[in-house]
């Protein structure tokens, strides 16, 4: 059992939890994830590690209420427990001196890119950060981003913060103005795909962190398989980071839809049980 030590609502339906898991905190590196299961009937879901507190043995996770499990997770309070919490999984991000790095994130992807930026900055990389969200409220971790970036750009769909438009609009301007050595992108698949299309033409190495459906998270099942450079890869063991220009994006998009109908059933049941008294046992 893994205790929830702190909870914080950092955006609309976006929460930040610190979980007591000292072994994971000790060995976790930027870019890695955990698999968690809330209770005996729960599913296993992957969440990227958003930070650690080594002294207190804490692992930070940031998540948006999207599916049944994240909704249920959001309903937990300080002092409550998560049944299973395993990690750190996947290869850590390769942290080294690249020169100029453009770090791009969309939505809660921001939580995932922040630890990467921090470590890259420690090695004196110049960090240009580009954050996209649907609107101002959905932009998270603004101050932290500013602390570790040389410059931060924001793009919102409705123009309520930063420029009106997409991260790709900002990216195009940035790469036209200066030489970028590598790009890190974390966020919705369509965003990463759009970035990849731009940077492939410009020959800029682009690393993306992929988020396919996972089951065990340690190579045993192949649920998370994707095609990279025409070969089947497991995101959990071979990734989660891959060269964006080699990823079969269409396939990834289709595989994310695999259990869409089931997810809807699970969400409906969860909402119903939460609201309806006769269902509470």
Residues in contact with 147: Cβ distance below 8 Å, sequence separation at least 6, in sequence order: none
Q: How far is the CB of 26 from other proteins (least distance, A)?
A: 8
Which residue lies nearer to other proteins by CB, 121 or 225? 225
Verify binding: residue 136, other proteins, rule CB under 8 A.
no
Verify binding: residue 184, other proteins, rule CB under 8 A.
no
Q: What pairs with residue 17 in β-bridges?
A: 7, 61
Q: How far is CA 110 from CA 73, 114, 117, 144, 148, in A?
A: 19, 6, 10, 10, 13
219, 233 contact by CB (below 8 A): no
Residues in contact with 125: Cβ distance below 8 Å, sequence separation at least 6, in sequence order: 97, 98, 99, 100, 101
When binding is defined by CB under 8 A, the residue of 71, 76, 198, 237 that contacts other proteins is 237
Q: What pairs with residue 15 in β-bridges?
A: 9, 63
58, 25 contact by CB (below 8 A): yes
Verify binding: residue 63, other proteins, rule CB under 8 A.
no
E strand intervals along the chain: 2-11, 14-20, 33-37, 45-53, 58-64, 81-82, 84-89, 100-106, 126-133, 151-156, 163-164, 182-186, 205-209, 225-228, 231-234, 241-243
Verify binding: residue 220, other proteins, rule CB under 8 A.
yes
Q: How far is the CB of 186 from other proteins (least distance, A)?
A: 20
Q: How far is the CB of 264 from other proteins (least distance, A)?
A: 10
Verify binding: residue 24, other proteins, rule CB under 8 A.
yes
Verify binding: residue 223, other proteins, rule CB under 8 A.
yes
Verify binding: residue 118, other proteins, rule CB under 8 A.
no
Which residue lies nearer to other proteins by CB, 27 or 122? 27
**Binding segment toward other proteins, per CB under 8 A, in 57-65, 106-114, 170-178, 256-264:** 256-264
Residues in contact with 203: Cβ distance below 8 Å, sequence separation at least 6, in sequence order: none
As a whole number of angstroms, the distance between CA 269 and CA 68 comes to: 9
Give how many residues touch other proteins by CB under 8 A: 44
As a whole number of angstroms, the distance between CA 65 and CA 271 comes to: 12
Q: How far is the CB of 261 from other proteins (least distance, A)?
A: 9
Verify binding: residue 239, other proteins, rule CB under 8 A.
no
Q: How far is the CB of 239 from other proteins (least distance, A)?
A: 13
Verify binding: residue 281, other proteins, rule CB under 8 A.
no
Verify binding: residue 52, other proteins, rule CB under 8 A.
no
Can you give the binding site for other proteins, defined by CB under 8 A?
23-24, 27, 32, 37, 41-44, 68-69, 83-89, 215-216, 218-223, 225-227, 232, 234, 237, 250-251, 254-255, 257-259, 262-263, 265-266, 269
């Amino acid at each position: 059992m893994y205790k929830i030590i702190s909870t914080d609502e950092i955006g609309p339906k976006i929460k930040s939890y610190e979980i007591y898991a000292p072994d994971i905190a000790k060995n976790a590196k930027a870019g890695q994830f955990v698999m968690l299961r809330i209770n005996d009937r729960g599913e296993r879901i992957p969440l990227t590690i958003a930070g650690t507190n080594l002294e207190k043995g804490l692992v930070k996770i940031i998540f948006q209420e999207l599916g049944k499990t994240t909704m249920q997770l959001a309903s937990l309070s300080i002092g409550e427990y998560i049944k299973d919490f395993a990690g750190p999984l996947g290869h850590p991000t390769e942290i080294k001196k690249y020169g100029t790095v453009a770090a791009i994130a969309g939505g809660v992807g921001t939580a995932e890119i922040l630890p990467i930026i921090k470590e890259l900055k420690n090695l004196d990389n110049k960090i240009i950060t580009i954050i996209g969200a649907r609107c101002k409220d959905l932009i998270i971790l603004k101050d932290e981003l500013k602390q570790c970036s040389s410059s931060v750009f924001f793009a919102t769909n409705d123009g309520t913060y930063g420029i009106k438009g997409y991260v790709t609009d900002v990216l195009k301007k940035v790469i036209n103005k200066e030489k970028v050595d590598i790009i890190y992108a974390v966020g919705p698949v369509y965003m990463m795909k759009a970035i990849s299309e731009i940077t492939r033409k410009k020959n800029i190495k682009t690393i993306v962190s992929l988020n396919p459906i996972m089951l065990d998270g340690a190579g045993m099942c192949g649920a998370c398989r994707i095609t990279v450079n025409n070969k089947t890869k497991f995101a959990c063991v071979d990734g989660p980071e891959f060269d964006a220009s080699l990823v079969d994006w269409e396939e990834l998009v289709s595989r994310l839809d695999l259990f869409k109908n089931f997810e809807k059933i699970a969400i409906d049941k969860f909402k119903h049980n939460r609201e309806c008294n006769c269902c509470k046992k």
